[in-house]
């Protein structure tokens, strides 16, 4: 009988505990800050370009076409196939004679040249990206069309050169930036650039008498607009002081050097990819209206640069070091909703900062804002008083225990803010019973991962044996009806997410978080760059493009090739499957030592 009365007393105390918990919740009432923005995800697709630099000359022995194929970082494209055609002034294709290599150097480097049909040559570039074709007969007044059809990482490229008739071959010239610019700061009044013209003294009797002084060099942007012109000095260098107003707005672009040639020197061009960058400024669109921080205080912000309004990135609101809201930037405007808990009315200082989403914008100075906020409303205070009265009445009168609410499914529980890390969290343990249920979510955006495969594996006589499997439904939910084993492991796989494996947790409700293979590869590159150090590490965070350009400047082909492949996988249009991920992880440069170390 006493045992029955004790059980009854415990049962009657449970509703009272629930009401007390509700009272505590209403008294504290912290409202989590939420970032309100579009639900879409920005996807950036990156595909490199290519540039053909070539010159065609007519000699007594025939016609020679020399050149090189470079990518958008200025690196040589080795082993690429180009097609060459001669086009007459009327537009008709010219029949071509049998081709041959140009010199002993070409034969040693095994450049492949062959005739396609009657009107085209096919030639492969060597390890320096260079090519050379000799036609055994003059081609008249024709122009030469060179085409690269592109590959997995580069777009097609085409170039047209005219024949330069001369009694002796023209000396080959090489143009380059010294140093090659990566970023153009649009907030500076002027930009200083230096270019050099080098003459290849081998292979042409005219090169010895050729002078590099007083040669006109033109500088153009990706639109073909001339932005500067200068003449070389005695050292073959030309220096440009260019007003930044001559450059287009922030974004990715190109700078192109062009030399039109002389009677002794061949034409030359070179292209350098750049980023035009501007600093972002924040200003309030209007004074901030007084608001309730628990419902969210709206802050309208103008986001501009010296070139005009900004599109892309977010404006984040901070209270101290805590993020309390954010708003996406569109057309130079951002609407930030700041939400936080506050006990009484007053003035709250907030800090607004810009977080860029593209390399052509850099964050400027933070904007400090004082926000007038209201205290708890009268309705909330009345509700608290009513709850207190209800609790008091419950104690005095001794009401019966209300029916227990139905047990919530784990899907009814509010998902926490995504952690950004892969893992398995035991939301609620199931004491005294086996089996698992729960959900599989993306670790960054919290969306369900439909079709995720879960397996429980345990040691067997031959390798690991699968003792249970489950597939997540469209809500990411799953059920695994399997008892707990201390020697078992839980393995989770998905189509575009990296595989995750850990020791089987105790039975209960699980929340599984996976990260996409694209994010995993980018995280892997950042850790590698941090470990390796300069020149691959940079602030605020290294990117595949930065590592690729740094490897090119350091003449490290292995790192450059790896960074280029990772960049294509992380930002390209193709799905990153398990094989691509494994290949990139296997190709990661070993050692993590600095170049030359």
How far apart, in whole angstroms, are the C-alpha atoms of residue 448 and residue 415? 11
Mean pLDDT throughout 440-455? 91
Exposure string for 96-135, b = 16+ CB within 10 A, e = fewer: bbebebbeeebeebebebeeeeeebbebbbbeebbbbbbb
pLDDT of residue 494: 93
- What mean pLDDT value characterizes the chain? 80
Residue given tokens 């939910």 in the structure block: 477
Strands (E), 331-390: 333-338, 346-355, 361-363, 367-373
The whole-number pLDDT of residue 367 equals 95
User: What is the pLDDT, as a whole number, of residue 48?
Assistant: 75
Largest Cα–Cα separation, the chain: 121
Q: What is the pLDDT of residue 99?
A: 85
pLDDT tier, 194 (very low <50, low <70, confident <90, very high otherwise): very high
Rounded average pLDDT over 243-260:
91
Among residues 467, 458, 468, 404, which one has the least CA distance to residue 437?
A: 468
Residue 460 or 570, more confident: 570
Rounded CA separation 197/77 (Å): 22
The mean per-residue pLDDT over the stretch 188-210 comes to 74
Q: What is the pLDDT of residue 415?
A: 54
Please give the pLDDT value at position 287.
92
Q: What is the pLDDT of residue 497?
A: 92
Q: What is the pLDDT of residue 463?
A: 64
What is the tens place of the pLDDT at every residue in 300-355? 999 999 999 999 889 999 988 888 888 999 999 999 998 887 767 788 899 999 99
Residue 383 pLDDT greater than 90, yes or no: no
Confidence of residue 49 (pLDDT cuts 50, 70, 90): confident
Number of helices (H), then strands (E), in the chain: 7, 33
Residue in this structure with the two tokens 């599989």, named with its chain if needed: 440
Residue 17 has pLDDT above 80, yes or no: no
pLDDT surpassing 70 at residue 239:
yes
User: pLDDT confidence of 384, banded at 50, 70, 90?
Assistant: low
- Residue 339: what pLDDT? 85
Specify the range with the lowest mean pLDDT, choosing from 231-245, 359-373, 387-401.
Answer: 387-401
Q: How confident is the model at residue 32 (pLDDT cuts 50, 70, 90)?
A: very low
pLDDT at 187 over 90: yes
Q: Which of the residue ranges 88-97, 169-178, 221-230 has the most confident prediction, judged by mean pLDDT?
A: 221-230
**Residue 57 clears pLDDT 80, i.e. is over it:** no
**More confident of the two residues 387 and 543:** 543
Is 406 a residue whose pLDDT tops 70?
A: no
Mean pLDDT of 272-290: 92
Confidence of residue 26 (pLDDT cuts 50, 70, 90): very low
Sign of CA dihedral 356, 45, 531, 420: positive
Q: What pLDDT was estimated at residue 404?
A: 52
* pLDDT (0 to 100) of residue 67: 84
Q: For residue 173, what are the contacts with CB-CB under 8 A and spacing of at least 6?
A: 197, 198, 199, 200, 259, 261, 265, 266, 267, 268
Rg of the chain taking only CA atoms, in angstroms: 34
Tell me which residue has tokens 């990135």: 313
Parallel, antiparallel, or unpaired for β 216-221 and 251-259?
antiparallel
Residue-wise pLDDT tens digits, 71-119 = 877 788 888 999 999 888 777 888 888 887 775 444 444 456 888 888 8
Residue 197: in which H helix or E strand, if any?
Answer: strand 190-199
Please determine, for residue 130, whether its predicted confidence score (pLDDT) is greater than 60: yes
Give the residue, 413 or 534, on which the prediction is more confident. 534
Predicted local confidence at residue 47, as pLDDT: 66
pLDDT at 220: 92
| Res 553: pLDDT | 84
Q: Is the pLDDT of residue 6 over 80?
A: no
Q: Which of 189-193, 212-216, 534-538 is most confident?
A: 189-193
547-563 per-position pLDDT tens digit:
888 888 888 888 989 99
pLDDT value at residue 306 = 92
More confident residue, 476 or 49: 476
Which domains does the chain show, CATH number per domain?
47-167 (2.60.40.10), 285-373 (2.60.40), 408-514 (2.60.40.10), 517-587 (no CATH)
Helix (H, G, I), strand (E, B) or coil at 423: strand
CA distances (Å), 81 to each of 68, 126, 157, 194, 441, in order? 11, 10, 12, 32, 45
CA distances from 539 to 124, 542, 569, 589 (A): 39, 7, 23, 21
Question: What pLDDT shows up at residue 278?
Answer: 94
Q: Is the pTM of this model over 0.75?
A: no
Q: Which pLDDT value is given to residue 449?
A: 93
Where do the H-state alpha helices sit in 48-117? 104-108
Q: Give φ, ψ of 316 to 5 degrees.
A: -110, 140
pLDDT at position 411 is 45
Which pLDDT belongs to residue 165? 53
Bond into 535 cis (ω within 30)? yes
């Amino acid at each position: 009988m006493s045992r029955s009365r004790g059980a009854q007393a415990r049962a009657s105390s449970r509703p009272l505990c629930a009401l007390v918990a509700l009272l505590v919740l209403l008294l504290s009432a912290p409202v989590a800050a939420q970032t309100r923005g579009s639900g879409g995800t920005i996807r950036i697709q990156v595909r490199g370009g290519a540039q053909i630099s070539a010159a065609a000359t007519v000699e007594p022995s025939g016609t020679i076409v020399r050149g090189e194929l470079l990518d958008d970082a200025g690196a040589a494209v080795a082993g690429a196939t180009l097609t060459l055609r001669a086009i007459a002034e009327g537009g008709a294709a010219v029949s071509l004679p049998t081709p041959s290599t140009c010199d002993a150097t070409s034969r040693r480097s095994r450049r492949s040249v062959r005739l396609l049909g009657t009107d085209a040559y096919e030639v492969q570039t060597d390890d320096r990206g260079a090519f050379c074709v000799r036609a055994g007969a003059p081609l008249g007044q024709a122009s030469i069309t060179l085409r690269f059809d592109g590959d997995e990482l580069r777009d097609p490229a085409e170039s047209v050169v005219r024949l330069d008739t001369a009694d002796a071959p023209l000396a080959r010239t090489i143009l380059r930036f010294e140093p090659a610019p990566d970023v153009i700061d649009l907030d500076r009044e002027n930009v200083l650039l230096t270019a050099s013209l080098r003459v290849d003294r081998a292979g042409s009797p005219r090169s010895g008498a050729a002078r590099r002084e007083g040669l006109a060099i033109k500088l153009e942007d990706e639109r073909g607009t001339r932005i500067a012109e200068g003449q070389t000095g005695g050292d073959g260098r030309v220096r440009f002081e260019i007003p930044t107003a001559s450059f287009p707005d922030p974004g990715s672009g190109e700078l192109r050097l062009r030399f039109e040639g002389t009677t002794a020197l061949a034409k030359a061009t070179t292209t350098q990819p750049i980023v035009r960058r501007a600093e972002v400024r924040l200003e309030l669109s209007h004074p901030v209206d007084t608001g309730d921080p628990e419902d969210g205080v709206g802050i309208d912000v103008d986001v501009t640069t010296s070139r005009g309004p900004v599109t892309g990135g977010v404006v984040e609101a901070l209270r101290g070091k805590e993020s309390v809201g954010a708003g996406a930037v569109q057309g130079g405007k951002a609407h930030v909703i700041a939400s936080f808990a506050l006990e009484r009315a007053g003035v709250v200082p907030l800090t607004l900062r810009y977080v860029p989403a593209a390399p052509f914008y850099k964050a400027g100075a933070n904007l400090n804002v004082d926000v007038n906020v209201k205290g708890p409303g009268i309705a909330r205070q009345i509700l608290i008083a009513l709850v207190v009265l209800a609790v008091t009445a419950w104690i005095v009168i001794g009401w019966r225990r209300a029916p227990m609410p139905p047990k919530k499914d784990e899907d009814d529980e509010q998902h926490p803010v995504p952690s950004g890390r892969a893992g398995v969290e035991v939301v609620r343990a199931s004491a005294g019973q086996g089996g698992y249920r729960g959900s599989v979510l993306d670790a960054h955006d919290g969306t369900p991962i439909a079709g995720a495969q879960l397996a429980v594996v345990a040691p067997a006589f031959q390798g690991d044996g699968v003792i249970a499997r489950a597939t997540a439904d469209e809500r990411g939910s799953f059920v695994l009806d399997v008892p707990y084993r201390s020697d078992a492991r839980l393995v989770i796989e998905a189509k575009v997410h990296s595989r995750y494996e850990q020791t089987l947790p105790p039975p209960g409700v699980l929340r599984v978080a996976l990260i996409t293979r694209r994010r995993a590869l980018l995280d892997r590159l950042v850790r590698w760059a941090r470990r390796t150090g300069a020149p691959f590490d940079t602030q605020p965070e290294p990117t595949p493009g930065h590592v690729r350009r740094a490897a090119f400047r350091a003449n490290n082909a292995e790192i450059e090739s790896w960074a280029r492949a990772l960049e294509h996988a992380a930002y390209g249009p193709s799905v990153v499957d398990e094989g691509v991920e494994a290949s990139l992880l296997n190709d990661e440069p070993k050692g993590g030592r600095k170049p030359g170390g």
